[in-house]
Amino acid sequence: MCAVHDEASQFEEKSIQLLQRIAKLFSYYLELEQFAWKDTLTQLYNRRYLTRQWDTERQHFGALFYLDLDGFKQVNDVYGHETGDKVLFDVAKRLQDCTHAHDDAFSVRIGGDEFLIRFTQQITRWEYEGIAQQILRKLGTWQTPYAVSTSIGIVMFDDETDELNTIIQQADHALYAAKGAGKNTFRFAEAVSRIVQ
């Protein structure tokens, strides 16, 4: 925190202590805000942030990717939960790398080994397929004794779509279709895809 004045001045000890208290209070507020909107393990946004962002948006269009890690339970069972936490942290970093090129996108950890990516671009299904393939490659390559992959359910939607929970449910159904197709792949939820392609 910085106090600026256009004339040279001296602060009394009492004023300095007051400024220090204000700075600590502001720092504490920032920490609380981080706890409110971010996942403590991965530092990705949490579902509360996604809901707030959705509720404050004037327009809803784009896509939601629902990801679930394949083989994560085995990592926990064989290598322990500490290694599992490292995998989740690494997955979060890889997701951020994948979305870095998309200014409109952000990643969310729902809980456990489930993640969401929210895109607000009105692009084609073919382009979203390319993004999904990039994510599959990024999360399927490990130079470690343990390895996971991911399955992805994708929902494309336009401004007529109002309910976030409905979109998440549709993405979840598409995710289980991807799991049923052999994992390490993606499927689209056609029911809410209203964007002209």
Residues with catalytic roles:
113
Cβ atoms of residues 192 and 168 within 8 Å: no
Structure tokens at 115: 């993640």
Side-chain-facing half-sphere of 179: CA atoms under 13 Å = 12
CA distances from 22 to 15, 16, 91, 105, 135 (A): 11, 10, 37, 34, 43
Q: Which long-range contacts (CB under 8 A, 24 or more apart) does 127-135 make?
A: 128/63, 128/154, 128/156, 129/186, 131/65, 131/98, 131/102, 132/65, 132/186, 133/186, 134/98, 135/65, 135/67, 135/95, 135/98
